[in-house]
Amino acid sequence: MNNDNIIDDLKKPYFVWFEDNWKHDDVLHSHKKGQLVYVESGFQYLTIEEKIYLLPQNHAAWIPPNAVHKTNSHSEKIKLMIMFSDIDSHEDFYHQEKVFSVPPVLKEMIRYSEKWSKNLENNPAESIFLKALFSELPHFVVDSLQLHLTLPKDKRLSKVMEYLHNHYNQDFKIEELSDLAMLSLRTLERIFKAETGITLNKYQQILRIIKSLELLSSIDLTVSQVAFEVGYKSLQAYTRSFLSVMHCRPSDFAKIIH
């Protein structure tokens, strides 16, 4: 079962799809159903409606019905649970993408649902259980992370974006970026803010934090090593930056994912 189109052909309201060491096509697509993606181990990148999200271990994402998205991972091994649901509610939650830390109760409900993985037949017990799970989902996501980077559409920024993503751990000079884009400093800053909603410095900060979340998933690196790896000169500077973006300390986050 490797064709996403099968999801839209299903004659059942819910569908659970579990893969050990998940392999997924890195192509943009959409589903009529809403989609819950839970990362039990490893980490997953999601592109949803031209925004890039990082899904660390023990986190989940809600992808609304018909949202154009794709997934790709840089983890050597990743353990995912993907769950689909018909959505007939007009509640705002179900029509907005969300990334959030999975609380223990929801985690156990997701794990229990594994028993129905790839089940194509209608099952009353499955439907009742998953209806309860998806109905309660908004309450599980009260404090959802909005950790994402918006991809600019303006082609003049393509070389700037490539540079930022390839050199995120280095301090940049705005003059070098303006030369890459062949724009004046003022024009570059104005277009970048209009396209992404944030400044160049803020974009680099969030990018560094996202990259650090990947590294924090590794048990081989200390928090201090992660800080220097992503370009911070001190653990204190990294902690302040992490707090401003994630509203928790990197050491606390590391405990959550491990």
What does the pLDDT read at residue 32? 92
What does the pLDDT read at residue 240? 95
What is the per-residue pLDDT across 188-244, written as a single tens digit (0 to 9) for each? 999 999 998 899 999 999 899 988 987 887 667 899 999 999 999 999 999 999 998
Report how far residue 120's alpha carbon sits from residue 92's, in angstroms, rounded to the nearest whole number: 29
What does the pLDDT read at residue 133? 96
What does the pLDDT read at residue 143? 59
- The first and second tokens of residue 41, run together, are 């181990």
**Domain boundary at 74, 108, 140, which?**
140
- Domain span at 16: 5-140
Total domains, the chain? 2
What does the pLDDT read at residue 1? 43
What does the pLDDT read at residue 256? 65
Report how far residue 221's alpha carbon sits from residue 87's, in angstroms, rounded to the nearest whole number: 41
107: closest CA among 18, 40, 11, 165? 40
**Domain boundary at 112, 140, 168, which?**
140
Query: What are the CB-based long-range contacts (under 8 Å, 24+) for 86-91?
Result: 86/13, 86/14, 86/32, 86/33, 86/34, 87/33, 87/34, 91/138
Query: With helix as H, strand as E and coil as C, how does 87-107 read?
Result: CCCCCHHHHCCEEEECCHHHH
Q: Can you tell me which residue has the tokens 């996501």?
A: 141
One domain for residues 13 and 132: yes
Report how far residue 94's alpha carbon sits from residue 90's, in angstroms, rounded to the nearest whole number: 7
- Whether 156 is covered by a domain: the verdict is yes
One domain for residues 84 and 203: no
What does the pLDDT read at residue 2? 44
Extract the residue ranges of the chain whose pLDDT is less than 50.
1-3
One domain for residues 9 and 123: yes
Whole-model pTM?
A: 0.71
Report the CATH number that the domain containing residue 162 is assigned in CATH: 1.10.10.60
What does the pLDDT read at residue 184? 96
What does the pLDDT read at residue 52? 80
Report the CATH number that the domain containing residue 123 is assigned in CATH: 2.60.120.810
What does the pLDDT read at residue 33? 94
**Domain boundary at 91, 112, 140, which?**
140
17-44 exposure pattern, b = at least 16 Cβ within 10 A, e = fewer: bbbeebebeeeeebbebbbbbbbbebbb
DSSP letter string over 139-150? Answer: HHTTT-B--EEE
One domain for residues 212 and 251: yes
